[in-house]
Amino acid sequence: MKLRITIDGPAGAGKSTVARELAHALGYGYLDTGAMYRALALAALRAGIAPEDAPGLMRLLSSVDLRLEHGRLRLDGEDVADEIRQPAVDRIVSLVAAHPAVREALVARQRSIASEGGIVMDGRDAGSVVLPDAECKFFLTASLPARAGRRHRELLAQGVRVDLAEVEREMANRDAQDEMRAVGALKVPDGALVVDTTGLGVADVVDRLLRACRERGA
């Protein structure tokens, strides 16, 4: 059976690496919903639209071509998979993602991509709002220092030199914004298996999730 699998959790909990590997192990598709919010934030930066300007963001969303091709996100045909991870995008993406109209539009796209099943979707509200009746739901978490350390290593690997303390500060800010917003706030979805990944390797986490999915018929 082709299941719908959701993985939610705060930034840096290891969701995207685990989701990608789980999808690969099952032969399923992978959808990184955060990348969609990031791409809109990047488009807004480029167009000079403020992250608080909901009507401007909605106009932008209907005028740009945002699509996933072979797991890479394209904005008007350009591969932006790396650029959407830049600190300038990190700083505004929570504000962009807080607008109910923006969320409604992107959630509709996410549901349509998942409509045939056989998908692993990661995000903040994948199991609570986008696919509340998904067959398998997970919530990955880890301590703030562990999450900031992972994000810092990712940035260094991309050649972006930033201070670890600053990464930790910005992550704490983003967590607070993601948890407090009125719509699509980060929370543990009903029925989700919570896994604390602090000190665990990717392979251990993927194994644990894979076992749970197999038990549900994947």
Contacting residues toward ligand DC, per CB under 6 A = 11, 33-34, 37-38, 93-94, 97, 123-126, 174, 178, 184
Q: CB-wise, 21 or 178, nearer to ligand DC?
A: 178
Cβ atoms of 84 and 33 closer than 8 Å: no
Shortest gap between Cβ of 217 and ligand DC (angstroms)?
A: 25
Cβ atoms of 75 and 66 closer than 8 Å: yes
Shortest gap between Cβ of 97 and ligand DC (angstroms)?
A: 3
| DSSP classification of residue 35 | H
Shortest gap between Cβ of 215 and ligand DC (angstroms)?
A: 26
Q: CB-wise, 26 or 34, nearer to ligand DC?
A: 34
Cβ atoms of 44 and 60 closer than 8 Å: yes
* Residue 195, both tokens: 């896994």
Q: What are phi and psi of 26, to 5 degrees?
A: -95, -10
Shortest gap between Cβ of 106 and ligand DC (angstroms)?
A: 8
Q: CB-wise, 1 or 182, nearer to ligand DC?
A: 182
Q: CB-wise, 93 or 209, nearer to ligand DC?
A: 93
Quote the CA–CA distance of 149 and 177 in Å, as a whole number.
Answer: 20
Shortest gap between Cβ of 181 and ligand DC (angstroms)?
A: 7
Q: CB-wise, 28 or 37, nearer to ligand DC?
A: 37
Cα R_g (the chain), whole angstroms: 16
* Residue 31, both tokens: 């959808």
Cβ atoms of 217 and 4 closer than 8 Å: no
Coil, strand or helix at 101: helix
